[in-house]
Structure 1
Amino acid sequence: MPGPVEDERPTSPHIELHDNRPASSRSRANSEGQPSPGLRNSKGWDGKLRVDRTAVLVNPEILSDPESDDENVHPGEQLPADEDLLDDEDPDTDEIIVSHARVASISALRLERFRHVARLCLRQNSIQHIEGLSALADTLQDLDLYDNLITRVRGLEDLTHLTQLDLSFNKIKHIKNISHLKDLKELYFVANKISRIENLEGLPNLTSLELGSNRIRTLENLEPLQNLEELWVAKNKITSLAGLAGLPRLRLLSIQSNRIRDLAPLADVPGLEELYISHNAIEHLAGLEANTKLRVLDISNNAVASVAGLAPLDRLEEFWASYNQIADFAEVERVLRDKANLTTVYFEGNPLQLKGPAVYRNKIRLALPQLSQIDATYVKA
């Protein structure tokens, strides 16, 4: 598996304009800032605050105090946008990137000069209002306003050709005014102040929805998203997996760092292939019997003592179970030995590793000879 792709997070003004530059991959990370299992080198988040430790954020309070009120947030120094910032650039460019340049007004950039822009990235600026984009409506497909000071979703009325919209790391409280974006495929609202999933009707082509690091308590109003394949809701306050029944194509669910106890509602999404549910309150794996298509399962940092519920999961390739209460080598062998596709297991931090660290690895290797990786170490042939 390839290594993680780091975010480009310049700490000085960064301006780029050129054609045909692919969108940078977004790496997913766990709460310690390290890549999450199986989530490397691909777009998206797991909601676990994927932030370079050296990054300078325009909106830093979203990390330190996500419950803070707007009136208590110091927005930082704001400088007027330089109206001549893009004067020397090719008017035929199809991509504009102006990041960490302290832009406060989109309108001041006079984007109407550029008639072929398909991707506009204004990351890490001081933008408070979405405006001045109507002139790009015929061509704009990817709008990235990550890490600004936006509080309301407005100004998107004419951008009906958008396929990607990133409003992560802002101060948005409500999902609204996007139901007309029928071509939208990827939608990012990571690290805002959203408490309810709503107003998603009219998005028939959406395949990926990212709502990690918000204030959501319930999985609701997802039924209109009939083509949704990936749902990222980690680091919220969700207590139940109920609400997924209307997602017939869901194949990936990341719901790490919530308050889940019961896996039974996952029977409503039998097509699930990847489940990331670490850092919850799970004590057993009962309820996974119908999820026979699971290839990747991450239950790390829960209170699971038995792997018995994995018996029907014949397609399992990766099982991440670090820091649980699993102690029985015999049961691990009995349940997992016949899974021919299983290549990776993580059991570090469980009693079966802690009670005999010197022999643990060899016992796992003998019990599961099909493995190529045990914890962070590859098995020698």
Structure 2
Amino acid sequence: MAAPTEEGNKSPGHHIELADDNNTIRHDGEPSPGMRNSKGWDGKLRVPKNALVANPEALSDPEYSDDENVLPGEELPADEDLLDDESEDTDEINCIHSRVQSIPALRLERFKQVARLCLRQNLIQDIEGLSCLAETLQDLDLYDNLISHIRGLDELTNLTSLDLSFNKIKHIKHISHLTNLTDLYFVSNKISTIEGLDGLTNLRQLELGSNRIRELQNLDALKNLEELWVAKNKITDLSGLSGLPNLRLLSIQSNRIRSLAPLSDVPGLEELYISHNALESLEGLESNTKLRVLDISNNRVRSLQGLGPLVELEEFWASYNQIADLGEVERELKDKKDLTTVYLEGNPLQLRQPALYRNKVRLALPQVQQIDATFVRVS
């Protein structure tokens, strides 16, 4: 009988009775506390000498197998059988976490009205077998598969939403003809260059977070883009946004941004999420007078100079910076009549007097309803 491993005893459906030196039996698949030494799992299945074992041969015979008591594993249907119970008039098909490897094996040609196809969390490597849905398909979700190359979308010109997040894609190709796309997702791939988007003039939302992008480029054709999400990349400069007149939201957290000056190219920006960068100053925001939400948390900002013109500000998130002057906070933010939320924890002004800090901020900014995670008054 093979010794259990630390992970092996956690598999669902397999409950192994374990006994430690103190005769403690566990039925929940977790090792008993006595079965760990100071370095963790010790690799031994300990059976006390006085234990009653129904099949003692299991302890001495390495070839022993109790076949009669083995629980049958879950039998998954073949890909071609997964949709047999689905109505052929359905407008939505969901095959999530079903180990689908082949799209053609699903025989999608049976379905004449499918507008949304979700094949999340499967084993698909090739995009194929979808042309039969071209007339009706609008939303294609292939999140979390094994796709390396974008192919097989030539006829899907009615798509409005395409999700290829959590795959293995290195290059954005073969989608510029999908001119009806409004939402495009490439989160967590291996993309290093923004490219191949020239025809997507109706795109409103583009998600490229968790890739390998170093530069904001080739975006000028996206005249209707409203939301750009590029967090967790390697971007050092905000240049490249000047061709986006309708950009309303920019999420560029966890990059390497030092200067906000290029944001003057997008004066219509309403939400800016730029935490976890290398900012030391807020200078350069003066033109962004429509900002309602500003998140600069986890930077190295010392001064709030630059916030003066942002009269429409509603939420200001600035935790874990180097802000020390409460007087400056009052000067820069007190006139913001719509300001309801401020986060300033982790700054010197909070760390210096943690017991008094929140009350001082409340007195300095009487219009605020929430300081950090605490509501200070009800509107």
State the TM bucket, normalised to the shorter chain. Answer: 0.7 to 0.9
The yes-or-no answer on 1:253 pairing with 2:282 is no
The yes-or-no answer on 1:327 pairing with 2:338 is no
Deviation at 1:87, TM superposition (A): 1.2
Question: Could you tell me whether the CA contact under 8 Å between 1:80 and 1:105 is conserved in 2?
Answer: no
For 1:338, which of 308, 311, 335 is the aligned residue? 335
The yes-or-no answer on 1:112 pairing with 2:97 is no
SS at match of 1:310: coil
Q: How does 1:351-370 map to 2 (within 5 A)?
A: 351-370=348-367
Structure 2 Cα separation of the partners of residues 252 and 100 of structure 1: 32
For 1:219, the equivalent position in structure 2 comes to 216
Structure 1 Cα separation of the partners of residues 377 and 199 of structure 2: 52
For 1:299, the equivalent position in structure 2 comes to 296
For 1:145, the equivalent position in structure 2 comes to 142
Aligned CA-pair RMSD: 1.3
Structure 2 Cα separation of the partners of residues 271 and 92 of structure 1: 44
For 2:305, the equivalent position in structure 1 comes to 308
For 2:188, the equivalent position in structure 1 comes to 191
For 2:130, the equivalent position in structure 1 comes to 133
Normalised TM-score (structure 2):
0.79
The yes-or-no answer on 1:160 pairing with 2:127 is no
Normalised TM-score (structure 1):
0.79
% identical aligned pairs: 76
Deviation at 1:80, TM superposition (A): 8.8
Question: Could you tell me whether the CA contact under 8 Å between 1:81 and 1:109 is conserved in 2?
Answer: no
Structure 1 Cα separation of the partners of residues 373 and 238 of structure 2: 30
Bigger relative contact order, structure 1 or 2, given CA contacts below 8 A and separation 6+?
Answer: 1
For 1:243, the equivalent position in structure 2 comes to 240
Structure 1 Cα separation of the partners of residues 275 and 108 of structure 2: 44
Amino acid at match of 2:305: A
The yes-or-no answer on 1:210 pairing with 2:207 is yes
Deviations 1:196-221 (A, max 9, x none): 00010111100000000000000000
Question: Could you tell me whether the CA contact under 8 Å between 1:80 and 1:103 is conserved in 2?
Answer: no
Question: Could you tell me whether the CA contact under 8 Å between 1:239 and 1:260 is conserved in 2?
Answer: yes
Amino acid at match of 2:289: T
Amino acid at match of 2:267: P
Question: Could you tell me whether the CA contact under 8 Å between 2:79 and 2:101 is conserved in 1?
Answer: no
Deviation at 1:85, TM superposition (A): 1.2
Deviation at 1:82, TM superposition (A): 2.3
Deviation at 1:380, TM superposition (A): 2.7
SS at match of 1:361: helix
> Please, which runs of 5 or more residues in structure 2 have no aligned partner?
1-10, 13-75
The yes-or-no answer on 1:265 pairing with 2:262 is yes
Question: Could you tell me whether the CA contact under 8 Å between 2:79 and 2:102 is conserved in 1?
Answer: no
Structure 2 Cα separation of the partners of residues 137 and 81 of structure 1: 25
Amino acid at match of 1:126: L
Deviation at 1:234, TM superposition (A): 0.3
Amino acid at match of 2:362: R
SS at match of 1:99: coil
Structure 2 Cα separation of the partners of residues 308 and 204 of structure 1: 37
Structure 1 Cα separation of the partners of residues 343 and 317 of structure 2: 5
SS at match of 2:81: coil
Structure 2 Cα separation of the partners of residues 88 and 190 of structure 1: 32
Structure 2 Cα separation of the partners of residues 319 and 220 of structure 1: 28
Deviation at 1:309, TM superposition (A): 1.1
Structure 2 Cα separation of the partners of residues 380 and 216 of structure 1: 43
Structure 2 Cα separation of the partners of residues 89 and 239 of structure 1: 49
